[in-house]
Amino acid sequence: MGEAKRRAEAFKRAKACLFAGIAGDESALVVADTALAFYERFILPKRYTGGCYLTTMFLHRFLKEEHGIVTDPVVGYVNDGTDDIMISHAWIELDGRKTDVTLNVVDPNISMSGGLLILDTEIVPGQARYGYHHQMTAAGEGANAALIAAGMGGLLRHKQQEHQMMLGIIADPRRMADHHSAAPSGLGYDDMRAALP
């Protein structure tokens, strides 16, 4: 069996396991269906990277407006386990279960891929097993201090400002819609909506 066929079979098994585990939970089934369809029809074909905030806003809004399912959009941090550096990241949660469709497709020059995570189930493995955090940890603060000492304070301050701005936007549905309206061509809400059935 070739590598591509093995990956396809593993993907199929992981999806079957996910759906077996959430059978009877209508909201979870819709979230899983939507997230997987979006991953397969938008993220993968476009090789869309660096879009965790927009994607989180889209999935949260789409699930609420189209299906009446309220998820929690989260702007938090991820860590790849190789050091203590924590990177701002966004995902949705349903009853505390994480769904992240963006960390599996990344720019390899910037970071390692993570798993495609649907309701806490890893559907496609990544190069790294990321830890998810709602808040910066003490170890992360120490890593930031080391970056500042190494002369990377400007970049770090920029990323911290972006993180704080996203926390404010994601807390306000009107600001989320405005942010999506200002997205680059092809990445607006309607563009993402068009990828789903």
How high is the mean pLDDT in each 10-residue block of the chain (197 residues)? 79 88 93 96 95 96 97 97 93 98 91 94 94 96 89 83 96 95 95 95
Predicted pLDDT of residue 1: 57
121: tokens are 């189930």
For residue 41, give Cα distances in angstroms to 45, 47, 93, 186, 192: 6, 10, 21, 14, 9
Both tokens of 90, joined, read 């966004």
pLDDT (0 to 100) of residue 130: 96
State the pLDDT at residue 186: 94
